[in-house]
């Protein structure tokens, strides 16, 4: 991690406060080399992409390599949060995607896998028989449909675990579905804006994925506005009609001027079991 120190007045215009301008590796080594070592600490990063275009592979690579780098980057742990998937299913997908060296890493005690599917499904129309952990007690049933209470549970988990950590939401899409077109939409936006604010106090990195073309453009823009950085994953078709994955950084507070200067505007991507997600073949693309 790279350290820079600056001083500024506090909110009252009195004492000087020291700010650490740290850079934390994304865990995608080929990308980190191009952007000066990583992302600014405290960043809330939205991974916005088409289905199968690489956002999940980016997250899994970041998870594995962030655990390897925890001591080096002075962070404590990695928290992987899922809203609809079983933890065993997530671990299985990662194990199948990488080579055998990853098996021990996904069982590292410094990774906290948190499954909120029980609480998420209690606030959805999922049949009770498909949610074996469903609590049918009277007290639990009173809480069904209380989306505000669900966000409180999520905030409580983050307050206990997010400090000096890498936080991964494997699908903000699932969370948005729960609040989209409901009275609780502004609660979700308030949560995301609070997440962006609190991430600066935690000093790690926060990632969340959003699948494109599921919600309307206005909804996607409102979510993107809450994040410090937006990385877009997409499929491109070459002149020979070969489909290739690509990545471009749409916005990043504090980092975009560097990207503009170095013309790192779009990168082709690939995934291998040995190295995970990689970027290559720099392309200059403007006007997106």
CA distance 118 to 230: 29
pLDDT at 158 over 90: yes
pLDDT of 282 above 70: no
pLDDT at 287: 38
User: Is the alpha carbon torsion for 43, 48, 54, 60 positive or negative?
Assistant: positive
Distance CA 61, CA 25 (A): 12
pTM of the complete model: 0.84
Euclidean distance between the first and the last CA atom of the chain, given in angstroms as a whole number: 31
Give the pLDDT band (50/70/90) at residue 286: very low
Confidence of residue 183 (pLDDT cuts 50, 70, 90): confident
According to CATH, the superfamily of the domain at 23-283 is P-loop containing nucleotide triphosphate hydrolases (3.40.50.300)
Q: Where are the domains of the chain?
A: 23-283
Q: What DSSP assignment string belongs to 181-231?
A: TSTTHHHHHHHHHHHHHHHHHH-SEEEEEEETTSS-HHHHHHHHHHSSEEE
Mean pLDDT for all residues in the chain: 82
pLDDT value of position 230: 95
- pLDDT reading at 182 higher than 60: yes
pLDDT computed for residue 12 by the predictor: 52
For residue 163, the model assigns a pLDDT of 96
Taking the C-alpha atoms of residue 110 and residue 84, their distance in angstroms, rounded to an integer, is 22
Which of residues 21 and 220 earns the better pLDDT score?
220
β-sheet bridge partners, residue 283: 266
| Pick from 104, 98, 106: nearest CA to 271 | 98
- The pLDDT value recorded for residue 117 is 85
The 10s digit of each residue's pLDDT in 140-156 is 434 445 677 889 999 99
HSE value, Cβ hemisphere, 13 Å, CA-based, for 185: 10
Q: Which residues contact 134 (CB under 8 A, 6 or more apart)?
A: 118, 121, 122, 128, 140
Q: Does the pLDDT of residue 192 top 90, yes or no?
A: yes
């Amino acid at each position: 991690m790279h350290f820079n120190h600056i001083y500024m007045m506090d909110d009252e215009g009195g004492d000087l406060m020291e700010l650490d301008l740290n850079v934390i590796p994304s865990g995608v080594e080929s990308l980190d080399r191009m952007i000066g070592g990583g992302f600014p600490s405290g960043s809330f990063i939205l991974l916005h992409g088409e289905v199968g275009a690489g956002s999940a592979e980016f997250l899994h690579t970041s998870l594995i390599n962030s655990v390897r780098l925890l001591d080096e980057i002075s962070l404590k742990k990695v928290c992987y949060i899922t809203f609809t998937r079983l933890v065993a299913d997530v671990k299985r997908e990662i194990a199948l995607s990488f080579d055998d060296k990853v098996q021990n890493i996904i069982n590292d005690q410094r990774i906290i896998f948190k499954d909120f599917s029980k609480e998420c499904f209690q606030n959805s129309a999922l049949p009770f028989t498909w949610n074996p952990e469903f609590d049918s007690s009277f007290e639990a049933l009173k809480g069904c449909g209380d989306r505000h209470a669900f966000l409180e549970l999520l905030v409580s988990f983050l307050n206990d675990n997010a400090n000096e950590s890498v936080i991964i939401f494997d699908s903000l899409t699932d969370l948005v579905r729960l609040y989209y077109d409901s009275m609780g939409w502004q609660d979700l936006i308030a949560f995301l804006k609070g997440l962006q604010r609190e991430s600066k106090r935690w000093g790690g990195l926060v990632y969340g994925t959003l699948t494109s073309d599921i919600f309307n453009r206005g909804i996607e823009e409102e979510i993107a506005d809450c994040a410090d950085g937006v990385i877009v994953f997409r499929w491109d078709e070459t002149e020979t009609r070969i489909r290739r994955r690509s990545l471009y950084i749409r916005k990043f507070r504090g980092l975009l001027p560097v990207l503009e200067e170095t013309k790192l505007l779009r990168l082709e991507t690939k995934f291998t079991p040995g190295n995970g997600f990689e970027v290559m073949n720099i392309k200059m693309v403007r006007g997106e």
